[in-house]
Amino acid sequence: MKKTVVTVVGRDSVGIIAKVCTYLANNSVNILDISQTIVDGFFNMMMIVDVAGFSKDFTTLSHELEQIGEEMGCIIKAQREDIFDKMHRI
Amino acid sequence: MISIYEVLETNDMIEKENLDVRTITLGISLLECIDSDLGRLNEKIYNRITTVAKDLVPTGKAIEKEFGIPVVNKRISVTPVSLLGAAACKTPEDFVTIAQTLDNAAKAAGVNFIGGYSALVSKGMTWSDELMIRSIPKALATTNYVCSSVNLGSTKTGLNMDAVKLMGGIVLDTAKETADRDSIGCAKLVVFCNAPDDNPFMAGAFHGVTEADAVINVGVSGPGVMRKALESVHGTDFGTLCEKVKKTAFKITRVGQLVAREASKRMNIPFGIIDLSLAPTPAVGDSIADIFEEMGLERAGAPGTTAALALLNDQVKKGGVMASSYVGGLSGAFIPVSEDQGMINAVEDGALSLEKLEAMTCVCSVGLDMIAIPGDTKPSTISGIIADEMAIGMVNQKTTAARLIPVIGKGVGETVEFGGLLGHAPVMPVNQFDCSSFINRGGRIPAPIHSFKN
């Protein structure tokens, strides 16, 4: 299992989660956990996903999610979970 | 499982507080390239570097993309060139051809800098060491990527004062050779006492002879993250302050460790060390001086600055060593003037002098770094400043360095612009009293008594 963290930051609008989830489902990416919060008036969502079934490379995933973000007026990033795990867990 | 707040904290560090991995430096041994024929030597050097380093930049970029952390620089360090050229070089010009080969190889590999145009002369200079040192001004003037360093002393050997004297003139000649570009050659030339073999940071990186064929060393950064973290302990006691520095250094270093391990695995080259340094950049907020201000000093250079730096340096190491099994290089806090907007402000406001900077180098990770001085400074005075700095390193059993830039045609109060990561610097006044009779004595300063630990 290769865990990846997808974050969405931007102004709240209808259909953000739906759009991201549709993309992930169409590409066989399984969502393991999802949470959201509002910080300084901005919508923040985080998903932990498993990209083991994703057939394209990581750069493509990252790029395509970025593009969806641009269309929706928010910033979407995909990062390997290790960076957060290493920083916050001993 | 990771929480959304932890994810947001990490991404805020990257996006708002300039957290980055400052450099992945690939150390390459070139000892196998040694040849008595200069043409063949240059050919072998070029081929070896471009072969070993071919995946360095793509790997760095891939890691950057996958983990979402900028890897600012990809660099190469090589075996000290004075050793490589000893059999083939008969003149300083012969050594310059090696510098040009390194430059071409660095360009082909797509890296920002290549270090190792170096000589290790802490006790004595061989004939080829001296030829190589004399070639430095021309080498740095005719190349773009090459960085040069000379180790002038150590706690074990004492100080090679003949080399200290020679380097005063070499620094000035390097400035003159690049006078049309604000003497930028000197920004790529550093002298050391107790130079480490595994330093990933420029201009002093070289691949020591104690190292393996190739090795990945990583330098982390993060002054902006540290300053932001300290905001949350504003006005608390020193125990609380130190705890915060340690925890933050741990987080920063763990990211460096992750990147180093990934790069090592992907390139199939052993991981060497993490250099735990807080390395500032000219970006607003990414400053060591700003950390001092957050600690409670009006400006860097105010009374208390040396204590603040000592505390910072020590706690960064204590937090960092917990995060990585292999730490090395310079590790601590860098205090370059030109690369740190807060330090520049402190100099311009009259809070920070060359003498205070010298005092601070007793407790920082390196030394007098990126300091612009008047272009008419005498070579013996430059040697005197170098000797003082080297003595601090020798006696305190630590690495010290001096990267001084005598800016030809400029005097105190004027500003010099280097651009990019090198930033800009106000020209600082230098003590005008003469030290030439001291420097001209020649010979060696013996190793201090506490070096005899056998």
Residue-wise pLDDT for B254-295, tens only, equals: 999 999 999 999 999 999 999 988 999 888 889 999 999 999
User: Is some CB atom of chain B closer than 8 A to the CB atom of A80?
Assistant: yes
Find, in chain A, the residue whose alpha carbon is nearest to that of B250: A87
State whether B67 and A62 contact (CB < 8 Å): no
Q: How far is CA B190 from the centre of its chain?
A: 8
Model confidence at B232: pLDDT above 90: yes
The DSSP secondary structure of B308-336, one letter per residue, reads HHHHHHHHHHHHHHHH-S-B-SS-SB---
State whether A88 and B6 contact (CB < 8 Å): yes
Give pLDDT, residue B419.
Answer: 82
State whether A86 and B11 contact (CB < 8 Å): no
Residue A71 burial by CB count (10 A; 0-12/13-18/19+): exposed, middle or buried?
A: exposed
Under DSSP, the state recorded for B278 is B
Residues 6+ apart with CB under 8 A from B209: B29, B31, B79, B80, B83, B197
Residue whose tokens read 């003139």: B169
Q: Out of A59, A62, A83, whose CB is closest to B258?
A: A83
Q: Out of A33, A39, A87, whose CB is closest to B10?
A: A87
pLDDT digits (tens, 9 = 90+) for B88-127: 999 999 999 999 999 999 999 999 999 999 999 999 999 9
Q: Is B172 helix (H, G, I), strand (E, B) or coil?
A: helix
Under DSSP, the state recorded for B179 is G
For B138, the enclosing helix (H) or strand (E) is helix B127-141
pLDDT above 70 covers a percentage of chain A that reads 99
Token pair of B397, please?
A: 């059993």
Average pLDDT of the residues of chain A: 91
Model confidence at B371: pLDDT above 70: yes
Q: Is B156 helix (H, G, I), strand (E, B) or coil?
A: coil
Q: What are the CA-CA distances from residue B252 to residues B200, B255, B275, B279 (Å)?
A: 16, 6, 11, 12
Whole-number Å distance between alpha carbons of B109 and B145: 11
CB < 8 Å to A85, chain B: 2
Residue whose tokens read 């000035």: B172
Q: Is the dihedral of CA B76, B77, B82, B87 positive or negative?
A: negative
**Taking a C-beta distance cutoff of 8 angstroms, is the pair B76, B56 a contact?**
yes
Whole-number Å distance between alpha carbons of B185 and B181: 8
The DSSP secondary structure of B11-70, one letter per residue, reads HHHHHHS---EEEEEEEE--GGG--SSHHHHHHHHHHHHHHHTTTHHHHHHHHHHHHT--
pLDDT band per the 50, 70, 90 thresholds, residue A1 = low
State the smallest CA–CA distance between residue B258 and chain A in angstroms. 7
Q: Is B219 helix (H, G, I), strand (E, B) or coil?
A: strand
pLDDT band per the 50, 70, 90 thresholds, residue B303 = very high
Q: Out of A36, A77, A85, whose CB is closest to B68?
A: A77
User: Is some CB atom of chain B closer than 8 A to the CB atom of A83?
Assistant: yes
Tell which CATH architecture fits domain A3-88. Answer: 2-Layer Sandwich (3.30)
Q: Chain B residues contacting A, CB < 8 Å?
A: 1-11, 62, 65-69, 251, 254-255, 257-258
Q: Which residues pair with B25 in a beta bridge?
A: B75, B217
Q: Is B454 helix (H, G, I), strand (E, B) or coil?
A: coil
CB < 8 Å to A88, chain B: 2, 6, 9-10, 251
The DSSP secondary structure of B400-453, one letter per residue, reads EEEEEEEETT--TT-EEE--GGG-EEEPPP---S--HHHHTT-SEEPPPGGG--
3-state secondary structure B342-370: HHHHHHHCCCCCHHHHHHHCCCCCCCEEE
Q: Tell me: ipTM over 0.90.
A: yes
User: Is some CB atom of chain B closer than 8 A to the CB atom of A27?
Assistant: no
State the smallest CA–CA distance between residue B10 and chain A in angstroms. 7
Rounded to an integer, the average pLDDT of B2-27 is 92
Whole-number Å distance between alpha carbons of A62 and A49: 13
Token pair of B164, please?
A: 């200290």
Give pLDDT, residue B113.
Answer: 97
State whether A83 and B68 contact (CB < 8 Å): yes
CB < 8 Å to A33, chain B: 1
The DSSP secondary structure of B83-132, one letter per residue, reads HHTTTT--SHHHHHHHHHHHHHHHHHHT-SEEEEEEEE-SS---HHHHHH
Whole-number Å distance between alpha carbons of B275 and B331: 5
User: Is some CB atom of chain B closer than 8 A to the CB atom of A30?
Assistant: no
CB hemisphere CA count around B191 (13 angstroms) = 34
Q: Identify the residue among A33, A86, A90 best suited for mutation to test binding to B, counting B beta carbons within 10 A and taking the highest.
A: A86
State the smallest CA–CA distance between residue A29 and chain B in angstroms. 16
Whole-number Å distance between alpha carbons of A50 and A53: 8
Whole-number Å distance between alpha carbons of B55 and B413: 45
Domain spans in chain A, listed from the N-terminal domain onward: 3-88
Rounded to an integer, the average pLDDT of B219-225 is 90
Length of chain B: 454
Model confidence at A66: pLDDT above 90: yes
Model confidence at A72: pLDDT above 90: no
Model confidence at B222: pLDDT above 90: no
Average pLDDT of the residues of chain B: 95
Rounded to an integer, the average pLDDT of B63-90 is 96
Whole-number Å distance between alpha carbons of B179 and B156: 37
pLDDT above 90 covers a percentage of chain B that reads 91
Q: What are the CA-CA distances from residue A23 to residues A12, A46, A49, A58 (Å)?
A: 19, 15, 12, 14
Q: Which residues pair with B426 in a beta bridge?
A: B415
Model confidence at B448: pLDDT above 90: yes
For the ranges B139-153, B159-173, B280-294, the lowest mean pLDDT is seen at B280-294
Whole-number Å distance between alpha carbons of B247 and A76: 29
